[in-house]
Structure 1
Amino acid sequence: MPTSTKHLPDIFDRAKKVMPGGNTRSTVFVPPRPPYAVEGSGAFVTDETGRSVIDCNNNYTSLIHGHAHESVLDVALDAAKKGTAFGLPTRYEVDMAECLAERTGIQQWRFCNSGTEAVLMMLRAARAHTGRDIIIRFEGSYHGTGDEVVDQESLGVPASTRQSVLVLPQNDLQALSDVLQNHSHRTAAVLIDLMPNRAGLQPATHEFVQALRALTRHYDVLLAVDEVISLRLSWGGFHKHYGVEPDLISVGKIIGGGFPAGAIGGSPGILKTFSPTTSGNVMWGGTFTANPVTMAAGLTALRLYDEKAVLDLNIRGDHLRRQLKSAGIPVNGFGSLMRIVTPNIESLWWNLYDKGVLAGSNGLLALSTAMTDDHIQQVAEAVIGSTTDLSVK
């Protein structure tokens, strides 16, 4: 058993009695049993044993300002005191939609409670607008837990999904061109994550993205870009880095300020299918969608993460990635996000944790504005030391 779990209390035993495998979120399980978080402050998270580590997981990229940022908490608490949820719209969602529109240049927005839900809503919007069924997506990319966007061979996924989803290799322009030539008349959208985490956090090539945009326009198919993770990487969204404009975009993670959030953006012409003022509209509710606490916290977090903050954090990430590569460590990513490439991911995770760094269970490192240069240097030393330990073994 890794040293970090030696003194864990019986919480994992309790968990196994009431949750399958003691787990309700697959991505945070690390064998043989994970540490349990009890507190977070700034760049650090503290587990059940009292151990504090630098948080380079940041709830899988969502905590852009680290834990318990004072300004974010202040506005969230103020909103909560006035009511945590209503059966009416509020000004908070209007403020957030205006912020996203100004930041991205995408005119209209609609909210939900997670990245998964945002992707599913985006696919519904594409199909409703085009009247077509097929969605094209790319191998290895993670777009949430909906049946249509997970591995079609996964347990519980109906075989019927294969009739409406075509899965292609990313960066294979010929395969994409062939499929669109044969199926564009039945295709609503091409769905892409420009730097898919689950597929190794390798950015798509500029050539492929430019060609993808040109092909979708040529065949009158919508381009749906999943920016649930990558919104943080460029001012206005990672698609700006490629110089393309999507027809639809899904976002989440950082827009919630540490609370559950998701959203889709698009032109009025596409999103009008959701308007309750028109007949035959798409009905899409959500009891806690756009709740005032999330909207207030998220708006503050986004305003704090301004254009300079985006650039500064990316510079720090680029420096860390160069440092790791110079030490011979395979690492992918862009800006403030990176992924360590190793076949010994479980051992690496525990080595890092024992050296004071919390990574993603897949080797993901996500920086936050709460980190200082000293924190990032500690992360570099921990990663280099951990990979050295594994190579010696």
Structure 2
Amino acid sequence: MDQMIQLTFIWIISFIVAIQVGETMMSPGQGHNSGATAAATSRSEAAYLREAKVVPGGSMRAASWFKPHPPYAARGEGCFIVDIDGRRIMDCANNFFSLIHGHAFPPVLAAVQEAMVKGTAFGMPTESEIMLAETLAARNPRLEQTRFCNSGTEAVLAAVKAARAITGRERIAKFEGCYHGAYDWIEVSLDPTPANWNDENGNPASIGTNAGTPESVLREVVVLPYDDPQRCAEILRREGPTLAAVILDPHASRAGAVPMSRETTAVVQEACRRDGALLIVDEVISFRLGFSGASPLFGLQPDLVTTAKIIGGGLPIGAVSGSAKLMSVFNHADGKPKVSMGGTFSGNPLSMAAGLASLANYDQAAVGRLNGLGDLLRNKVHDGFEKAGIKAHVSGLGSLFRLHLGAAKVTGYRSAYAGPETSQTLKNIHRGMLDEGILLTPNCSGALSTPMSETEVSRLADTLGAVVAKELSTRV
């Protein structure tokens, strides 16, 4: 007990020192509520120039980078980030939707601190991995068994390998424009353009995303249209018997952040059952949409489910879940498994503790409240746009949202596709929001977190309306 008191005291002192350091980093005369655009002599610019010397591109993550450079974070406080120049920014990016409770959530900090003093990682299992797997199973019976890893990418990679081992087939199908991590096969047709997105028959083509993608990879991936159930059915009727799995995210951010139609999900479900392919539902982001995840909301009965982000409470995590029968493909207890899955930090006690605290505080009531705030946001934004005569709208479900310019309805990747002019306008809006102290992702999508209230939602809606109106007025 004395050791715990001492560690708690050290943690409190460190937190106070961090606050004081952040305040001393502010430029002369610069307050916490000043605009978020870095000045020419800002600490963030200095950090970027320093990092560019030792890191390609001057940043570890291309997805969150934007010109001239992002601000550098010093600390987080609930739904706010304080950057190293002392500016306080409302965070609607949530580290790409992983921070369901925002930053420095006290129950997560307490759980990690308690776990940390016992050891950060072991070459042995811990009871915490049992508890988190049990928690997932309790939220959704289809997540009967789970294997943990360290990212959503790893989870999807393992699920695809499992499907191949179970079915004895090699090919997979995925939806055009959908992101499932950094893995050759699932990166196919991640960002096709109108110039190359159709094959000779008018169906979605298999397009390599990275330079050097082997042609053999492209032949092993069937690409499906996100918002055309009839064509999707035709493709699966032809290709289904060759497929190990179909992977889908029913609310794919990169495909417009629009819910996949029930017609399309039904087509996929039926094809998988008919042809013996496994249905993998990627809920790395969309698990937050419901207490039991996203699949029940779309009438899906997946064979395997991949999760990450909110189940780790802000620490690295990934998971593959499914029935005991299917998950036995990873069973190493009786000899060599059909599919090897493991890692030095898989199931580490810090991520397990953080995940348990995160999910314990994301109960039915919290899910309902946050989803209600998402509905309120979209309604407020649409009302504001309508009153101002702005031709734009916000898509999304639950606590997730994305801005689209123009009056046309967005139903998937192709209708959400932004050409060069629209892309530049969205970049300007993203920068304009940051100038007003609100951080979105670079494509103007975002997420709400539990520390937010109607106050933050109103500020977000009003600011978005003003910034969009100002930017569009310059195009007239």
Counterpart of 2:290 in structure 1 is 234
Q: Retained in 1: the 8 A contact 2:167–2:276? A: no
2:42 is matched with which residue? Answer: 8
Q: Which residue of 1 aligns with 2:117?
A: 81
Q: Are residues 1:352 and 2:433 paired? A: yes
Structure 1 segment 306-345 matched on structure 2, within 5 A: 306-328=363-385, 329-342=392-405, 343=422, 344-345=425-426
Cα shift at 1:8? 1.9
Whether the aligned pair in 2 keeps the contact of 1:116 and 1:144 (CA below 8 Å) is: yes
Distance 1:3 1:234, change over 3 A: closer
CA contact (8 A) 1:8 1:35 kept: no
Partner residue, 1:44: 80
1:224 pairs with 2:261: no
- 2: CA distance between counterparts of 1:60 and 1:21? 19
Q: SS of 1:236's equivalent?
A: coil
- Aligned pairs for 1:63-78 (under 5 A) are 63-78=99-114
Deviations 1:43-85 (CA, angstroms, capped at 9, x unpaired): 1101121100111111011000000011110010110110100
Which residue is equivalent to 2:345?
Answer: 288
Aligned equivalent of 1:368:
449
Map 1:204-215 to 2 at 5 A.
Answer: 204-215=260-271
Which of 215, 218, 224 is residue 162 of structure 1 equivalent to? 218
In the other structure, the counterpart of 2:20 is none
- Give the aligned partner of residue 332 of structure 2: 276
Structure 1 residue runs without a partner (length 5+): none
Residues 171 and 244, structure 2, Cα contact 8 Å, conserved in 1: yes
Distance 1:172 1:340 in 2: 22
Match of 2:165 among 121, 124, 128: 128
Question: Is the 1:138–1:191 Cα contact (8 Å) retained in structure 2?
Answer: yes
Amino acid at match of 1:212: V
Work out the CA distance in 2 between the residues paired with 1:167 and 1:332: 24
Match of 1:110 in 2: 147
Give the CA deviation at 1:277: 2.1
The amino acid that maps onto 2:353 is: A
**Secondary structure of the structure 2 residue equivalent to 1:65:** coil
Alignment of 1:156-195 (within 5 A): 156-195=212-251
Query: 1:84 is paired with a residue of what secondary structure?
Result: coil
Structure 2 stretches lacking a partner, 5+ long = 1-34, 190-206, 386-391, 406-421
Q: For residues 401 and 167 of structure 2, what CA distance do their matches in structure 1 show? A: 36
Other structure's SS at 1:71 match? helix
* 2:301 maps to which of 211, 232, 245: 245
Using CA pairs below 8 Å that are at least 6 residues apart, which structure has the higher relative contact order? 1
Superposed CA deviations along residues 87-138 of structure 1, whole A, max 9, x for unmatched, are 0111111000000001011211111100111111111111111111110001
2:331 & 2:49 partners in 1: Cα distance? 48
The answer to whether the 8 Å contact 2:36/2:437 transfers is no
Q: Is the 8 A contact 2:233 2:267 kept in 1?
A: no
Q: 2: CA distance between counterparts of 1:126 and 1:177? A: 21
Structure 1 partner of 2:208: 153
One-letter code aligned to 1:338: F
Name the CA distance, whole Å, in 2 between partners of 1:8 and 1:318: 37
Supply the distance in 2 between the matched residues of 1:164 and 1:386 (Cα, whole angstroms).
44
Q: Secondary structure at the match of 2:332?
A: coil
**TM-score after normalising by structure 1:** 0.97
Distance across 1 between alignment mates of 2:264 and 2:382: 25
Q: Quick one: which amino acid aligns to residue 330 of structure 1?
A: H
Tell me the CA shift for residue 326 of structure 1: 1.7
CA contact (8 A) 1:31 1:346 kept: no
TM-score, normalisation: structure 2:
0.80
Q: CA deviation at 1:172?
A: 2.5
2-structure distance, mates of 1:157, 1:302: 38
CA RMSD of superposed structures (Å): 1.4
Moved more, 334-343 or 289-298: 334-343
For residues 158-198 of structure 1, the C-alpha deviation after alignment (integer angstroms, 9 at most, x for no partner) is 22211221112113233333333333332111110101111
Q: CA deviation at 1:3?
A: 6.7
Give secondary structure in 1 for the equivalent of 2:279.
Answer: strand
Which amino acid in 1 is paired with 2:89?
V
| Aligned-partner residue type, residue 169 of structure 2 | R
How many residues matched?
392
Report how far residue 388 of structure 1 moved.
1.2
1:292-344 Cα distance to aligned partner (Å, 9 max, x none)? 00000111100100011101100010110111112224111001000011421
Separation in 2 of the partners of 1:327 and 1:156?
Answer: 46
Deviates more, 1:58-67 or 1:153-162: 153-162
Secondary structure of the 1:250 match is strand
C-alpha deviation, 1:269, in angstroms: 1.3
Work out which of the two has the higher radius of gyration on C-alpha atoms and give 1 or 2.
2
Question: Can you list the C-alpha shifts for 1:231-285, whole angstroms capped at 9, x where unaligned?
Answer: 0001211111112211111001100101011101111111101001234412122
- How far 1:218 moved relative to its partner? 1.6
Correspondence for 1:30: 66
Deviation digits for residues 12-71 of structure 1, max 9, x if unmatched? 110110111202101110111111111101111011211001111110110000000111
Alignment identity in percent? 41
| Separation in structure 1 between the aligned mates of residue 344 and residue 402 of structure 2, nearest angstrom | 35
- For residue 202 of structure 1, what is the aligned residue in structure 2? 258
- SS of residue matched to 1:4: coil
Match of 1:21 in 2: 57
